[in-house]
Amino acid sequence: QVIRCKAAVAWEAGKPLVIEEVEVSLLQKMEVRLKILYTSLCHTDIYFWEAKGQNPVFPRILGHEAAGIVESVGEGVTELVPGDHVLPVFTGECKNCAHCKSEESNMCSLLRINTDRGVMIHDDQSRFSINGKPIYHFVGTSTFSEYTVVHVGCVAKINPLAPLDKVCVLSCGISTGLGATLNVVKPTKGSSVAVFGLGAVGLAAAEGARIAGASRIIGVDLNASRFELAKKFGVTEFVNPKDYNKPVQEVIAEMTDGGVDRSVECTGHIDAMISAFECVHDGWGVAVLVGVPHKEAVFKTHPMNLLNERTLKGTFFGNYKPRSDLPSVVEKYMNKELELEKFITHQLPFSDINKAFDLMLKGEGLRCIIHMEH
């Protein structure tokens, strides 16, 4: 059946979303229709809503951090049935390409993030419309809608006992920061970790360092108002680069007798990326870049920094394969190893979704959970 439901439509760049009645069409091959119960707002939604640095695709249904229940499945879908509890994910896992078959990669050739695509892969058509006019998709998820259509490879089936209003934050930002630490830089017990940028992703990286047993977690941010909250995530010391008249990597090297063991960069600013790499200890230091840079950014460092046995890595979605790995991240929350409540600072009904945008634009709070049903 075609479903009529409410969705928050972005008609043009930077203008408030409008709650409209949309039609969600029938499923094609390998597609799943989800009833979204909770969605949260992530900075990526804001970035593409503002459409300052990329191709504007409008009208569009944004949203990609969410949790819901399978409503129906299309032809060829065998591993999901109606009623399954799931997280839709902006990147996928087809399980057949070279990346999916590799132990090391999570960058599926078929389903990796494509921010310009506003249609489904199967037929290059949208599944959303208003009076026959197509409304475009966003990163394959479009969760600012009561019902959405997602490729089966972008749906992680999770423990049905997990509270969806909490674990929805694992479908993007929190998993990205957590995995950058646990899967990529892998701090050892008792080690030191510097985290650049104390937004939700940076705090998730700090949470990963706390879980791994790091003894010193140094938070670096230009906004000192973030420091108090960060203590809840295991951050033990703080550096505001504005307080010093020398590069922050030198400040950290002095604090740590030559540099930290590991660092995680979560701002996307090129200077922070260079500092994050140069602040790790020679001989064993590892830095990972998580933040997405400006398209003209260039990373410059002296090659000796690498020759002196420092490692620079990049990561995408915390190196988690969505379908294979996200269920176990949900279990970390279920067995109380990972604390998600700390990330959730606001709750709003779907009708107030524009307030969530205002909160994020003002830099207030970490994650705002939007309840689809009143």
Report, as residue numbers or ranges, the catalytic residues: 42-44, 64-65, 94, 97, 100, 108, 112, 172, 367
Residue 211 phi/psi, 5-degree rounding, is -65, -40
In whole angstroms, give the CA distance from residue 206 to residue 116.
31
Neighbouring residues of 339: CB distance < 8 A, sequence distance ≥ 6 = 207, 333
Contact 128, 24 (CB under 8 A): yes
Q: How far apart are the first and last CA of the chain?
A: 24
In whole angstroms, give the CA distance from residue 159 to residue 302.
47
In whole angstroms, give the CA distance from residue 230 to residue 90.
27
DSSP states of 195-234 as a string?
EE--SHHHHHHHHHHHHHT-SEEEEE-S-GGGHHHHGGGT
In whole angstroms, give the CA distance from residue 153 to residue 127.
17
Cβ atoms within 10 Å, residue 50: 14
In whole angstroms, give the CA distance from residue 244 to residue 255.
13
Three-state secondary structure call for residue 367: strand
In whole angstroms, give the CA distance from residue 159 to residue 86.
8
